[in-house]
Amino acid sequence: MNTKKWPAIVFPLLGLAVFGLLLLGERGAKPGPTGATTATPTAATTATPPPRHAASPSAPTPAAPTAPTAPTAPTARAEKTAKSELQATAASPALPTPPQPTTANPAGEAPAATGEIALFFSANNMGELVDCGCHRNPLGGLARRVRWINERATRYAAAAHVDCGGSLIADAAISSDGPGQAASRVAVYLAGLARAKTLALNVAPAELAVEVATLRREAKRHGIALVATNTVSVRDGSAVFQPWILTKIGALRVGILGLSTKRPPRRQVLYTAQGFALTPPVEAAQAAVKALRGKVDAIVAMTWLTRDEIDLLGEKVPEIDFVLGAKDTDLTMRAEFLGRGYRLDSYNKGKWLGELRLRAGRGAGGRWFDPDLRDRLAYDQGSAQRQIAYYVKKHADEDKAGGPSDPRGRTFEVERLVGLRAKLGRVNLELRGTIDPPDGAASFSAKMHPMRTSLPEDADVVAHVKAHHATFPPPPRP
């Protein structure tokens, strides 16, 4: 035999033998349920328990799985993690929007103090039953306000609501209402007020654009007091409506007035046509305060007055603790000093709702104190000082460089600077006054709540408004 050729013969034969052995071993294996190969058990393998995730040796082998087998633990965790990350990515937009309130009692807000009461107030609703219809950030709606008050009232020992007038007609002197429309609106509006625990409505010119008999009937039906401190009969000078009311909210005795202005004169036809007249607000308020003296813990004036009339009222009738509302609509985010009392306004069209929180106390000459006022005034002082310094330096640098590049913008900034200096002067004056509450003194706080269209609505009020609009469709919005 040629020894040089035997490797060429032996090596292929050895390869074929190894291949045959491998083939026989592969045929002796059984397919497991998951499709993986599992060796046929022998005495050696049955003596040792199989792994936890291996198929049981005694279980029959299905021809075809009917459902996918659960993945092993590491795979399940991986899939769960991936799914959670996917959901988190889908739920988190790239530019998150500020959260919108869905309840009047957000989680985390400090609870009301023991015995604390709330007086909610609105003003100048101008005949609006739904939101203002503004293109950007629409606010308002009677049904939202009612729902908010009812939810929020549960925080306190007691709560009530007052409407400061100017609420039933958009323009009391120029009404575009059809026959019966104003009366229908009054019925809907007062029904809503009744559901909001409303004590009183200030009878301003907008409230006299409807027949007085209708106004009286609906107010009586819903238990709402019509208050008009300076509205009298031309015939004998007697009060046409209630000049004031004395009520208890919780344990607090509260006297409530209602004052209206003669301005502009064109609205006086609404009074003269009824045989009514308006007396000077200060004189009427002084008479009411005299009648209430010693009987109340707080005096509140609902007003439809101009700003200068309100300032005069604070000076001449310092016994009034809180002046709410105004003819010249404004939004006061914090209470403003007014003589010994304070002024608050909730703007118009029901866009904002005011909340006055009262905590009874003793001593201090009957005054009410805002315990956080000094901190807020200090913040306002620092803010005004920083803005004034910014504009002064900016204008000085522009003047050195040859003048402002935007003269129109400079005019606006100069006006802004004048306003900031006036504000700083008022804040400095207030900080020098007696603003820190003595121990145990009566105290208050105030909030303004925007009535966003995302807020829930009172279902009954919604039904009333829809029925009214079915008969008197609102004008199309621009």
pLDDT band at 379 (very low <50, low <70, confident <90, very high): confident
With a CB cutoff of 8 Å and minimum separation 6, the contacts of 318 are 339, 340, 341
pLDDT in tens, 271-289: 999 999 999 999 999 999 9
- Mean pLDDT of the chain, nearest integer: 81
DSSP, res 209: G
Q: What pLDDT is stored for residue 23 in this prediction?
A: 52
The helix/strand/coil state of 343 is: strand
Q: What pLDDT is stored for residue 166 in this prediction?
A: 94
What pTM was computed for the model?
Answer: 0.71
Rounded average pLDDT over 417-424 = 89
**Residue 364, pLDDT above cutoff 60:** no
How much of the chain, in percent, has pLDDT values that exceed 90?
Answer: 55
Most confident among 90-104, 117-131, 351-365 (mean pLDDT): 117-131
Rounded average pLDDT over 104-110 = 82
The highest-level CATH class for domain 117-371+437-471 is alpha beta
From the list 182, 177, 253, the residue with the least C-alpha distance to 211 is: 182
Beta strand residue intervals within 305-402, DSSP E: 322-324, 336-338, 341-344, 352-359
With a CB cutoff of 8 Å and minimum separation 6, the contacts of 262 are 268, 278
- The Cα–Cα gap between 235 and 126 comes to 30
